[in-house]
Structure 1
Amino acid sequence: MSKSEPGKKELLMHVGIAGLASIGILLFVFYIYLPITTNHGESMTVPNLEGILLDDLGEFLEERDLRYEVEPDSGYSPKFPPLAVLKQFPLAEAKVKEGRKIYITLNASKPPVVKMPSLIQRSLKNAQLELRSLGLLLGEIRYKPDFALNTILGQYYKGKKLKAGEEIPKGSKIDFEVGDGLGNQTFQMMNLTDMDLDEAVFVMRGYGLKLGDVFYEKEGKIIKEKEASNGEAVIESIEAEPGRVFKHTPNAKNKARIGQEIDLWIVEVDSTKIEEIPTLDLVSD
């Protein structure tokens, strides 16, 4: 054996020891030192901050080892009080490390104002869409006799009529006066007694009336008022024929309004009810 062989073995041994030491150091750094110093593998869930007031935010986040920073821009929502959190980043349920800064947007201390447009003569559905685009809310809907069904007749804010161009706070409720599609035209009710159902429906349709409830009875009397030779009124009661109207409400002594429902009483035919009743709706031009 040459003298150089022990030297080579010794060198290889030192190299091996140095390699093992390097590996050990790397393992220590990556699996022990770095996790301790950087909290590697430790994370927390970001809480939902929406609606929390700014005065309560610091303590709330400090208890959870988090920080916050308020963004310069603000927004507005009528759902939350002034200076409450509207938005946050990172979002709720996100995973972050301890000490992470949460960026928040606050609700404005005062609601911004918007100019109210004129919604008169526009449809209720269209008006709702317009309100939503302006950040306004739909309030009370009051129906008023008018032939223009669901058409805006008046717009109000806090009980006062609202003119186009008036400034109101965003998030305000706007009340509307809306047409009911019937109008307020009244007239003397016609006499439908002694008519069959089809004839009564035809006459009612011509006056813009609706068919209400239809009641069938085994017998009924038609009350007629006639003038006697001496000028006095004489009340006459006659039996109604089967299938004929013998009573209706309102009757011919009362006023009726366009769109009103009229209830009919009819004598049964062969003690059986007519199964199909004609539908009666207002006819629009």
Structure 2
Amino acid sequence: MKKIIITLSIIFGLTILLGFLFLKVYLPMYTNHGETVSVPDLSGYTFDEGVEILSNSGLQYQVSVDSSFSTDEKPLAILKQIPEANSQVKSGRRIYLTLNARNAPMLKMPNLINNPLKNAQEILANMGLERGEIIYVPDIGINVVLGQKYQGVDIKEGAEIPKGARIDLTVGDGLGNQILTVPNLIGMDEIDAEFLILGSSLRIGEKYFVENDTVPSGKVFKQSPTSDMQVKTGELIEIWISKEKF
């Protein structure tokens, strides 16, 4: 009986010793227990810069298939990472990266004409477009959008523009009830005519470039409404301009 007890005690002791060695020595060595790396913050870095940082930290990377787009960041800049910055991970862990698209996705221009300014701004924001300059012109509609421009040119509904584009808005100031006399624009240069139209609290309408044998190129030879007519503030004035022959 004494020998049996001694044998069982030895077996029990060896079992405890082996268990201790397995949990405290072998398992930590096998799993690199305690050897963690702090994930660097990669936001704003370019892809090449981020890869170099991860490599120096002993981490790997994988680019997410889904990309996003931000006008505030460079093309291929890192927008998102998983795990997040400052997370503690094991050396060699793969970090998943979401990159900024190289080119902005194209959107179709909405129709903002006749919308209140507040609504127009919400539409632009919801579509990922930026509101640019607000140009007030005399018109009976106060804070009503009368025109929309992209890069200084009128843009129509449905035209394709890049996400993040700045859209300038022409807006009525609510002072359109005054009666004005249309100035005479015949014979004026295009720029001078536009300046006189705007200076007369009127708005520039369509411009037509037409060949004219008797009028030098760049000169206005027709207008609508005609001069001396009585119109309201903010009325559109169309002009016909002589085009150079080729």
Question: What TM-score results when the alignment is normalised by the length of structure 2?
Answer: 0.69
Within the candidate set 93, 107, 112, 1:114 is matched to 107
Over 3 Å counting, the alpha-carbon distance change for 1:184 and 1:142 in structure 2 is farther
Once residues 127 and 93 of structure 1 are traced to their aligned partners in structure 2, the CA distance between those partners, rounded to angstroms, is 41
Once residues 123 and 94 of structure 1 are traced to their aligned partners in structure 2, the CA distance between those partners, rounded to angstroms, is 47
Residue 182 of structure 1 corresponds to which residue in structure 2? Answer: 175
Residue 37 of structure 1 corresponds to which residue in structure 2? Answer: 30
Partner of 2:142, secondary structure, is coil
Q: Could you give the per-residue CA deviations for residues 237-258 of structure 1, whole angstroms, max 9, x where no partner exists?
A: xxxxxxxxxxxxxxxxxxxxx9
Q: Does 1:74 align with 2:67?
A: yes
Q: Does 1:148 align with 2:165?
A: no
Amino acid at match of 2:70: S
Q: Could you give the per-residue CA deviations for residues 253-279 of structure 1, whole angstroms, max 9, x where no partner exists?
A: xxxxx9xxxxxxxxxxxxxxxxxxxxx
Partner of 2:161, secondary structure, is strand
Once residues 150 and 46 of structure 1 are traced to their aligned partners in structure 2, the CA distance between those partners, rounded to angstroms, is 50
Once residues 55 and 42 of structure 1 are traced to their aligned partners in structure 2, the CA distance between those partners, rounded to angstroms, is 26
Residue 241 of structure 1 corresponds to which residue in structure 2? Answer: none
Partner of 1:150, secondary structure, is strand
Counterparts of 1:116-265 in structure 2 under 5 Å? 116-183=109-176, 185=178
Once residues 36 and 117 of structure 2 are traced to their aligned partners in structure 1, the CA distance between those partners, rounded to angstroms, is 51
Q: CA deviation at 1:87?
A: 1.8
Once residues 150 and 31 of structure 1 are traced to their aligned partners in structure 2, the CA distance between those partners, rounded to angstroms, is 74
Amino acid at match of 1:96: V
Once residues 177 and 34 of structure 2 are traced to their aligned partners in structure 1, the CA distance between those partners, rounded to angstroms, is 75
Task: Tell me which stretches of 4 or more aligned residues in structure 1 moved more than 4 Å.
Answer: none
Amino acid at match of 1:107: N
Amino acid at match of 2:162: P
Segments of 5+ residues of structure 1 without an aligned counterpart are 1-7, 188-257, 259-285
Q: Could you give the per-residue CA deviations for residues 182-204 of structure 1, whole angstroms, max 9, x where no partner exists?
A: 237269xxxxxxxxxxxxxxxxx
Partner of 1:151, secondary structure, is strand
Q: What is the alpha-carbon root mean square deviation over aligned residues?
A: 1.8
Residue 15 of structure 2 corresponds to which residue in structure 1? Answer: 22
Of structures 1 and 2, the larger Rg is shown by 1
Segments of 5+ residues of structure 2 without an aligned counterpart are 181-232, 234-246
Q: Could you give the per-residue CA deviations for residues 44-63 of structure 1, whole angstroms, max 9, x where no partner exists?
A: 33222222211112211011
Amino acid at match of 1:75: S
Q: CA deviation at 1:75?
A: 1.6
Q: CA deviation at 1:140?
A: 0.8
Q: CA deviation at 1:106?
A: 1.2
Residue 91 of structure 2 corresponds to which residue in structure 1? Answer: 98
Q: CA deviation at 1:73?
A: 2.1
Seq. identity, %: 47
How many residues are treated as equivalent by the alignment? 181
